[in-house]
């Protein structure tokens, strides 16, 4: 009798334990394993898609020669391009090395709060800073970088930490650009000589720095780059990402891009950058980001910049609108000077985006692609949607003041207005297809923006 009772009790207990462990499993966060199949299945934290617009900042020792592009060192001493060799001959004493630029990277006038204020006024929801470009100089006191970091040389400041604090004070998300490779690091060159069969560089430099960046600065985004010479197995990328997603202090919020090894880009990782300045022609089925630079010829600041390579306000806004309509985020780059200043032409372009977004942000932030992305008749139109509204941004004002939208199907309850203007607009069914909308007959100075106006349509299909 007693024994039977004991058995029953044991069975009951086992059942209870089974139920409890099932419940615990249901509650336990999903764990990722270090392979692409598992890592690629992670849902992208939703803040990223909602953010839509970010500012990219390329800043480092390359901001000292500030000539040609941020690839200065490679063009000079890797490829030995004559223009770069001559530039050095004509402007610096014999024997001047790239390392000699380090102390001149002073960041003397760097005021992180001013930068953050500008980025916020630009309407950016995230900021991505180069923590380390291919030159290997770290903008933070890396524990595995001796005399080639911003604490020991140059600014004697923690640039990554200072900008992060300023950006977060304004509730912007903070992303860290990080180059996996370093052109001239002796251990990288050794691994390269060994056909990347050894990982001296990854073990001594890349991985310790990536873990340090995550633990020290708790980034919302890691913008990986410099991956292209080696497979992801050399970089140990999947092991790092599994830790990042499972156990890191930012595991729930962090977003990463797709540059984690040769042939990864556009195939694996978090969102896709594909190549720089990537512009798909139709709606991709994976979240993506277009990164581009106000100075079309360089990401870093260069003194030889001229107006001819500076993107115009219209071009920038058109790219933003097109990118968001096609489901992407727009990451617009500027390069500060070696003393930590952002030149007025960059300020002006960023503030122009901010001004446009003040009026039209409703069609951009947290929007979703609509069933049609664009159409073109008298002007190009880009669509987005949010809740039950459809937004149509048209780039040029039609001469007759009437705009024809082919794709929206109106109902008797349809209402249409222009963002920035309170009154509803009158519209009629187009005899052929779609809707004809009479634009408000306002003088140019009374229009809400100077370029790319947004119509908000409700109760359309
Ligand atoms: C790289 O990954 C291998 C196995 O995946 C592991 O043994 C090694 O410790 C990792 N190295 C670093 C630096 O993370
Ligand atoms: C990447 O693709 C190229 C071209 O198809 C190929 O030669 C190379 O071996 C690939 N690399 C890896 C790591 O798969
Ligand atoms: C373009 O729009 C006008 C109205 O503004 C319309 O009459 C015309 O049919 C449209 N053309 C095409 C090709 O849809």
For ligand 3, atom 6: residue with the closest CA? 404
For ligand 3, atom 3: residue with the closest CA? 404
* Res 377: pLDDT: 84
The finding on whether 378 has its CB within 6 A of some atom of ligand 3 is yes
Residue 135 above 70 pLDDT?
Answer: yes
Residue ending a domain, among 299, 329, 363, is 363
Which ligand is the nearest neighbour of the Cα of 206? 1
164 lies in the same domain as 272: yes
Residue range of the domain that includes 94: 36-363
Residue ending a domain, among 303, 336, 363, is 363
344 lies in the same domain as 386: no
CA of 229 to the centre of ligand 3 (A): 51
Query: Higher pLDDT residue, 429 or 188?
Result: 188
**Confidence band of 1 (pLDDT split at 50, 70, 90):** very low
CA of 240 to the centre of ligand 1 (A): 9
Residue 30 above 90 pLDDT?
Answer: no
Q: Using only C-alpha atoms, what is the Rg of the chain?
A: 26
Which ligand is the nearest neighbour of the Cα of 238? 1
**Confidence band of 11 (pLDDT split at 50, 70, 90):** low
428 lies in the same domain as 309: no
Assess if residue 2 is contained within a domain. Answer: no
* Res 432: pLDDT: 82
Q: Which residues line ligand 1 (CB under 6 A)?
A: 202-203, 207, 236, 239
294 lies in the same domain as 384: no
Which ligand is the nearest neighbour of the Cα of 375? 3
Contacts with 387 (C-beta within 8 Å, 6 or more apart), sequence order: none
How do residues 111-132 score in pLDDT, each as one tens digit? 999 999 999 999 999 999 999 9
Percent of the chain with pLDDT over 90: 90
Q: Helix (H, G, I), strand (E, B), or coil: what is residue 338?
A: coil
Q: Which long-range contacts (CB under 8 A, 24 or more apart) does 340-348 make?
A: 340/106, 340/107, 340/108, 340/109, 340/110, 340/111, 340/155, 341/109, 341/110, 342/115, 342/118, 343/301, 345/294, 345/307, 345/310, 346/294, 347/118
How do residues 278-330 score in pLDDT, each as one tens digit? 999 999 999 999 999 999 999 999 999 999 999 999 999 999 999 999 999 99
For ligand 3, atom 10: residue with the closest CA? 377
Closest CA to 232 of 199, 200, 209, 275: 199
Assess if residue 7 is contained within a domain. Answer: no
Assess if residue 20 is contained within a domain. Answer: no
CA dist 372 → 116, 285, 304, 382, 399 (Å) = 36, 14, 42, 9, 25
355 lies in the same domain as 378: no
The number of distinct structural domains making up the chain is 2
358 lies in the same domain as 379: no
Cα(207)–Cα(232) distance, rounded to whole angstroms?
Answer: 13
How do residues 350-400 score in pLDDT, each as one tens digit? 999 999 999 999 999 999 999 999 999 889 999 999 999 999 999 999 999
CA of 258 to the centre of ligand 2 (A): 16
358 lies in the same domain as 383: no
Residue 15 above 70 pLDDT?
Answer: no
Which ligand is the nearest neighbour of the Cα of 237? 1
Assess if residue 27 is contained within a domain. Answer: no
Residue of 36, 228, 263, 267 to test ligand 2 pocket, by largest number of atoms within 8 Å of CB: 263
Residue 6 above 90 pLDDT?
Answer: no
The finding on whether 377 has its CB within 6 A of some atom of ligand 3 is yes
299 lies in the same domain as 395: no
């Amino acid at each position: 009798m007693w024994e039977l009772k004991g058995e029953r009790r044991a069975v009951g207990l086992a059942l209870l334990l089974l139920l409890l462990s099932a419940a615990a499993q249901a509650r336990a966060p999903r764990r990722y394993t270090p392979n692409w199949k598992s890592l690629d299945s992670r849902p992208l934290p939703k803040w990223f898609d909602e953010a839509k617009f970010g500012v990219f900042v390329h800043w480092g020792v390359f901001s000292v020669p500030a000539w040609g592009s941020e690839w200065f060192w490679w063009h000079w001493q890797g490829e030995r391009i004559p223009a770069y060799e001559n530039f050095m001959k004509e402007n610096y004493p014999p024997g001047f090395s790239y390392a000699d630029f380090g102390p001149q990277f002073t960041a003397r006038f760097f005021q992180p709060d001013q930068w953050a204020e500008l980025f916020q006024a630009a309407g950016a929801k995230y900021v991505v800073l180069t923590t380390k470009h291919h030159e290997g100089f770290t903008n933070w006191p890396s524990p595995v970088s001796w005399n080639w970091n911003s604490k020991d040389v140059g600014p004697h400041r923690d640039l990554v930490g200072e900008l992060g604090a300023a950006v977060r004070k304004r509730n912007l998300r903070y992303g860290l650009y990080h180059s996996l490779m370093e052109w001239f690091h002796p251990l990288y060159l050794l691994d390269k000589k060994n056909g990347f069969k050894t990982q001296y560089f990854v073990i001594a430099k890349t991985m310790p720095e990536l873990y340090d960046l995550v633990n020290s600065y708790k980034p919302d985004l890691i913008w990986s780059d410099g991956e292209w010479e080696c497979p992801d197995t050399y970089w140990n990328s999947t092991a790092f990402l599994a830790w990042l997603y499972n156990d890191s202090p930012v595991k729930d919020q962090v977003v990463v891009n797709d540059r984690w090894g040769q042939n990864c880009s556009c195939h694996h990782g978090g969102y896709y950058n594909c190549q720089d300045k990537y512009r798909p022609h139709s709606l991709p089925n994976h979240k993506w980001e277009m990164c581009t630079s106000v100075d079309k010829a360089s990401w870093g600041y260069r003194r030889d910049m001229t107006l001819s390579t500076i993107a115009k306000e219209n071009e920038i806004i058109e790219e933003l609108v097109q990118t968001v309509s096609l489901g992407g985020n727009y990451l617009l780059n500027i390069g500060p000077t070696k003393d930590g200043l952002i030149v007025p032409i960059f300020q002006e372009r960023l503030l122009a985006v901010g001004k446009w977004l003040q009026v039209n942000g409703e069609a951009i932030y947290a929007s979703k692609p609509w069933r049609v992305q664009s159409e073109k008749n008298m002007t190009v139109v880009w669509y987005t949607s949010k809740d039950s509204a459809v937004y149509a941004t048209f780039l040029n004002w039609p001469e007759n003041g009437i705009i024809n939208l082919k794709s929206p199907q109106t109902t008797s309850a349809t209402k249409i207005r222009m963002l920035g203007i309170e009154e509803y607009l009158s519209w009629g069914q187009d005899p052929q297809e779609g809707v004809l909308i009479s634009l408000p007959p306002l003088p140019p100075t009374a229009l809400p923006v100077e370029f790319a106006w947004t119509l908000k349509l409700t109760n359309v299909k």
